[in-house]
Amino acid sequence: MKTKKILLDESDIPKQWYNVVADMPNPPAPPLGPDGKPIGPDALTAIFPNALIEQEVSAERWIEIPEEVRRIYGMWRPSPLYRARGLEAALGTPARIYYKYEGVSPAGSHKPNTSVPQAYYNREEGIRRISTETGAGQWGCAMALAGQLFGIDVRVYMVKVSYQQKPFRRSMIETWGAEVLASPTDQTNSGRKILAEDPDCTGSLGLAISEAVEEAASRDDTNYALGSVLNHVLLHQTVIGLEAKAQFEKVGDYPDAIFAACGGGSNFGGVAFPFFADKAAGKEVRLVAVEPSSCPTLTRGHYAYDFGDTAGLTPLLQMYTLGHDFIPPGIHAGGLRYHGDSALVSQLVHEGLVEAVAVPQLGTFEAGVTFARSEGIIPAPESSHAIRATIDAALECKRTGEAKTLFFNLSGHGHFDMAAYDDYFAGKLHDYAYPQEEIDAALARLPKV
């Protein structure tokens, strides 16, 4: 029997996370305060536990994973690496295609890789309540699950359009015992301000972040948790790439190119950064961040200092951004709708060490269906962006006859996205390219620093 799954033992769960900062050619650009001056770690203690702030600014290459976190990782980790023999056959490509499958977590995506340590460090420092936000719902589920496992109450500000369109993500969050509110709410200044301007506002991720941050900053008993973008979040996700490296070693192969969907960057950073270590040491490997053309942060945004949220409550981060008041078009199904991006991923893109491509919505769903029919697993639309880019590369191999090794991260399953598949089959989805003048206008509103 030709092995399809490449598995590791529970004892092979990494003992340390990998911090890409140690191998970057230049140190990360510092976050700035409202006055345009670099802020220190102290500015973050109102909303984050000290351990996470230390990780956020650390330059150490390896950071220990607490034993209790590893034990909970063991619920679903190590996740399988698959050789996509069915997809290869369907495409008729000489390429060898592999994917790591993070949909095996109870929440169905890679997000618990960081919600679990975030809940752990908060509990260790005596925090019993966390506020957070969620867009498509994956992060809210992951944080609710982790909160339940560590006895922490969780409140989730869920972007209203998702709250309405994805009731089952909401039910899932509630099943794990967390509270869910449709954002914008009347519970925060940020929410009230927007509702006064537009009572029908269906929300955005940036706005939900404002609400959750505001709540955490104004309540002593409450911390904030973010599901992507920040350095410590990407750090936690490196378990994906670290395991994948061990799995490739086990079968004696190594990727020529790695593809991962990129919204805030945690999925991409999680799988790609451990391979960046090899790239920094001279190994040839392409690292490709794939984003939707309807929210083209890395490919059409500016590399500039901007706020992480709509209301401007967060520090300024140097990143690719479409402007913090950018609200992506409602037609785009699934996540990856954030106006900015991880500062680490942005810097590596800016320095030419990481590639970025944008793929259109219809081609993304077509790739997802091809994958479902050849490999069995129905992918999350987010993950299908990586599948699209991988299939394009595999078809290029077919043209050239090259047997390259292609690897992508299947960050989650699509069980809660079947309405989007329905819309796709019914011809209700469209490709959307954001008009350049609107992007220019949003970028003209970037804060001056």
Binding residues for a copy of itself (CB under 8 A)? 1-5, 7, 9-11, 67, 70-71, 74-75, 82, 86, 104, 106, 108, 145, 148-149, 167-168, 171-172, 174-177, 369, 372-373, 375-378, 415-416, 418-419, 421-422, 425
CB closer to a copy of itself, 281 vs 426: 426
CB closer to a copy of itself, 145 vs 343: 145
Compute the least distance from the CB of residue 171 to a copy of itself, in Å.
4
Alpha-carbon span 438 to 327, nearest angstrom: 11
Compute the least distance from the CB of residue 271 to a copy of itself, in Å.
21
CB closer to a copy of itself, 3 vs 50: 3
Token pair for 342: 């991880």
Token pair for 372: 């479902």
Compute the least distance from the CB of residue 367 to a copy of itself, in Å.
13
Q: In this structure, what are the phi and psi dihedrals at residue 94, rounded to the nearest 5 degrees?
A: -75, -10
Compute the least distance from the CB of residue 200 to a copy of itself, in Å.
25
Compute the least distance from the CB of residue 306 to a copy of itself, in Å.
36
Compute the least distance from the CB of residue 114 to a copy of itself, in Å.
15
Q: In this structure, what are the phi and psi dihedrals at residue 60, rounded to the nearest 5 degrees?
A: -65, 140
CB closer to a copy of itself, 181 vs 354: 181
CB closer to a copy of itself, 148 vs 405: 148
CB closer to a copy of itself, 58 vs 374: 374
Compute the least distance from the CB of residue 126 to a copy of itself, in Å.
22
Token pair for 332: 């785009």
CB closer to a copy of itself, 120 vs 305: 120
> Are 267 and 241 in contact, with CB atoms under 8 Å apart?
no
Compute the least distance from the CB of residue 426 to a copy of itself, in Å.
10
CB closer to a copy of itself, 70 vs 279: 70
Q: Which residues have a Cβ under 8 Å from the Cβ of 343 and sit 6 or more positions away?
A: 28, 29, 31, 229, 231, 317, 318, 319
Compute the least distance from the CB of residue 25 to a copy of itself, in Å.
36
CB closer to a copy of itself, 4 vs 430: 4
Compute the least distance from the CB of residue 5 to a copy of itself, in Å.
6
CB closer to a copy of itself, 89 vs 403: 89
435-448 residues labelled b (16+ CB within 10 A) or e (exposed): eeeebeebbeebee
Amino acid at residue number 397: C
Alpha-carbon span 236 to 16, nearest angstrom: 9
CB closer to a copy of itself, 377 vs 449: 377
Compute the least distance from the CB of residue 4 to a copy of itself, in Å.
5
